[in-house]
Structure 1
């Protein structure tokens, strides 16, 4: 049977109704999907925005505790840099000696001009430090420098805890492990210090040759006071060894030595250096066992090139009061292989600075400067490790510090001793 509906078949009417219904359903579904998409997109936007805000707040508030081991010039300078870093909420200092012994340390330090600029940027007021300026370098007694920093550390907003007369040992490392939050330990307890070993770092070192031979001597005059004095350098020296060695070791004219006299008025030091070579005189000074040869070289050098206001020293005084290297030796730089580490269990970073990280077997009076150059990366390193969250960012921070330490050693081997002795 066939029914007409506006001249359309039933099937056509049915199909028309189905299409309208489908259109209405599709429109409704599309509306729901759009609303769902908008709601989802809004939720994601809120989540991402909240996460960014939370991450920004967390980064702005991220802080850590810094522990410094050793109250020498490098240790206290590290502490001074740390308390001025906004990422450091607390500073803890360990020093084996008493405060009075630290401030009485008598040897003289010489800070070269580039490091004077660095220290000024961290608030060191050289105008209020007892010392002497000469050719852009600042000379002072180390105890004066240390006393100044000890005095100014508590003036900053960072919480400071100083433990004098307290040796850092394994029990101390347990205390550090139990501190809340992220920690950084800076080991500045010298080449013979045990702090880094107590924290698990290897004490294995690699030795680098500087390509220079040297010898040193020290004269202590107890009748003098501790007055800072500038250094004096003398170049192109030669020595007549005919009284001590055979004609086979006579000067062949190929060797020129450099002499440096430094130290305060009470403790005078002499450093002798020559570029590595195999000349007759150098071979004699390296191999001859007669100690009087080196003693007389240092005696004559001092009396000839001392300051004009200094008294000469006699043979007998030299015999009883001079300590010296009996022969020339190769000057070498010792570099710690493992100078930075991270212990994830207790969220602890460890680094070594100063002679705990690198040292050499020779005294030029400017030995503090290689340690200060290592500290130029300390503040950015603190910033990096405080914010490091992933394993990749932590490793990147450690790599930054290791590469900087390697660069310090490389530059010193190329320019350091030549700058401190030959220029």
Structure 2
């Protein structure tokens, strides 16, 4: 009996040792496989979102070869004068990617960094070009993403991950056979935009100007106006959401304005929604600009009013976002993620639109890691599912809170 118990004990011990050795070997092999795993990545589009996506891929440590494709030439890419405002969330995210704002032309205000699109793109390009010494990075400016381009890629160099960042008018998704079906949702607000270009002014980034709870007396146009509210009531959220909200941003040469108000059926809002008289909105922007501009820039007067271009009337502010923001192309074993304006578009320019695109990139490094280290299709589908959930969450959050942050506060 004692001999039998000893045999059982030895058998159990041997089995446990064998299982432990197997587990240790499997963990070691899986760990080594994941450590060695690399994926070929193609980024389509080198706007602010595309360049940031390329920088994330380069820093992920999971890229065997990175190709950045851009239809425009370098001069056209870097000469864009529009100003962007990077909010505090984007600033923190970019700092984590090694962006040094002290070495970029721009200015700070209320934890926002204001710079020109071309300046931002040039800085990110310089970071990528420095990384070319460490890894296989190819930057192809002046090259369009087409079916012919894909056919010319050798099988050994075909990308495993394609990141589409070619903007709202891009065609890359259709080239890849991905549906262009969009969900269009109201942001429960009305808005209008204006632009003022003055060639005699400086092209230097400036902080934005905001004015809250504005009321426009349109009695001269036959619209009754009555309100006890005063401009400047900004301490309470209820006061902030009353009236209209103005933002002036951009450089002194390229000035942009955005006007927004919560959706309502007030007489003034109804009138500005449906009036056929385009000069009324121009007059509102004209007067608002002169009232809230910086002290050192010139007023808009009768001689310069023709430089002001604006919306004809208030329009409903909408958020459009793709139903499909990530996909798996089974025949080619390729995963695709769609980012920036190619994934979601707000039809209302406030200078902060780039932040919505950058927020979508917060899950990109994890996505690349999961795809590069995937052992089978289940792992790939798990990575795609996580990316799709993040994209949907971004759209939901912005629809609920986006305008409150970018315009109403």
Q: TM-score, normalised by structure 2?
A: 0.89
Counterpart residue number, 1:281: 268
The 5 Å alignment of 1:197-276 reads 197-244=174-221, 246=222, 249-253=223-227, 256-276=243-263
CA distance in 1 between counterparts of 2:13 and 2:361 reads: 53
CA distance in 2 between counterparts of 1:237 and 1:119 reads: 35
CA drift of 1:158 comes to: 2.4
- For 2:149, what is the secondary structure of its paired residue? helix
Q: Deviations over 1:239-272 (max 9, x none)?
A: 121222x3xx312438611111111111101111
Gaps of 5+ in 2: 230-241
**Kept after mapping to 2: 8 A contact 1:109/1:368:** yes
CA distance in 1 between counterparts of 2:248 and 2:19 reads: 72
The 5 Å alignment of 1:330-341 reads 330-341=316-327
Counterpart residue number, 2:34: 59
User: After alignment, is 152-161 or 89-98 more displaced?
Assistant: 152-161
1:385 and 2:365 aligned: no
**Kept after mapping to 2: 8 A contact 1:177/1:346:** no
Quick one: structure 1 residues 44 and 181, their matched pair in 2 at CA, closer, same or farther if it must change by over 3 Å? Answer: farther
CA drift of 1:39 comes to: 9.8
User: After alignment, is 354-363 or 174-183 more displaced?
Assistant: 174-183
Gaps of 5+ in 1: 1-26
**Kept after mapping to 1: 8 A contact 2:189/2:316:** yes
Counterpart residue number, 1:418: 404
CA distance in 2 between counterparts of 1:275 and 1:41 reads: 67
Counterpart residue number, 1:23: none
**Kept after mapping to 1: 8 A contact 2:201/2:253:** yes
CA distance in 1 between counterparts of 2:356 and 2:328 reads: 24
Counterpart residue number, 2:360: 374
Counterpart residue number, 1:3: none
1:146 and 2:121 aligned: yes
Q: 2:340 aligns with which of 333, 349, 354?
A: 354
1:305 and 2:292 aligned: yes
CA drift of 1:44 comes to: 7.6
Quick one: structure 1 residues 44 and 118, their matched pair in 2 at CA, closer, same or farther if it must change by over 3 Å? Answer: closer
Quick one: structure 1 residues 45 and 306, their matched pair in 2 at CA, closer, same or farther if it must change by over 3 Å? Answer: closer
CA drift of 1:400 comes to: 0.4
The 5 Å alignment of 1:101-250 reads 101-156=76-131, 157-175=134-152, 178-180=155-157, 183-244=160-221, 246=222, 249-250=223-224
**Kept after mapping to 1: 8 A contact 2:42/2:159:** no
CA distance in 2 between counterparts of 1:35 and 1:389 reads: 36
**Kept after mapping to 1: 8 A contact 2:213/2:244:** yes
**Kept after mapping to 2: 8 A contact 1:62/1:87:** yes
- For 2:392, what is the secondary structure of its paired residue? helix
**Kept after mapping to 1: 8 A contact 2:33/2:373:** no
CA drift of 1:344 comes to: 2.3
CA distance in 2 between counterparts of 1:417 and 1:333 reads: 11
CA drift of 1:42 comes to: 8.4
**Kept after mapping to 2: 8 A contact 1:177/1:348:** no
- For 2:178, what is the secondary structure of its paired residue? coil
CA distance in 2 between counterparts of 1:411 and 1:44 reads: 48
CA distance in 1 between counterparts of 2:283 and 2:346 reads: 25
CA distance in 1 between counterparts of 2:204 and 2:161 reads: 38
Quick one: structure 1 residues 179 and 100, their matched pair in 2 at CA, closer, same or farther if it must change by over 3 Å? Answer: farther
CA distance in 2 between counterparts of 1:45 and 1:131 reads: 58
CA drift of 1:393 comes to: 2.0
**Kept after mapping to 2: 8 A contact 1:182/1:386:** no
**Kept after mapping to 2: 8 A contact 1:182/1:347:** no
Quick one: structure 1 residues 392 and 317, their matched pair in 2 at CA, closer, same or farther if it must change by over 3 Å? Answer: same
Q: Rg bigger for which structure?
A: 1
Quick one: structure 1 residues 389 and 217, their matched pair in 2 at CA, closer, same or farther if it must change by over 3 Å? Answer: same
- For 1:124, what is the secondary structure of its paired residue? coil
Counterpart residue number, 1:14: none
Counterpart residue number, 1:406: 392
Q: Deviations over 1:55-98 (max 9, x none)?
A: 22211101101111111000001111110011111110110111
- For 1:315, what is the secondary structure of its paired residue? coil
- For 2:29, what is the secondary structure of its paired residue? helix
Q: 1:323 aligns with which of 309, 313, 328?
A: 309
Quick one: structure 1 residues 45 and 137, their matched pair in 2 at CA, closer, same or farther if it must change by over 3 Å? Answer: closer
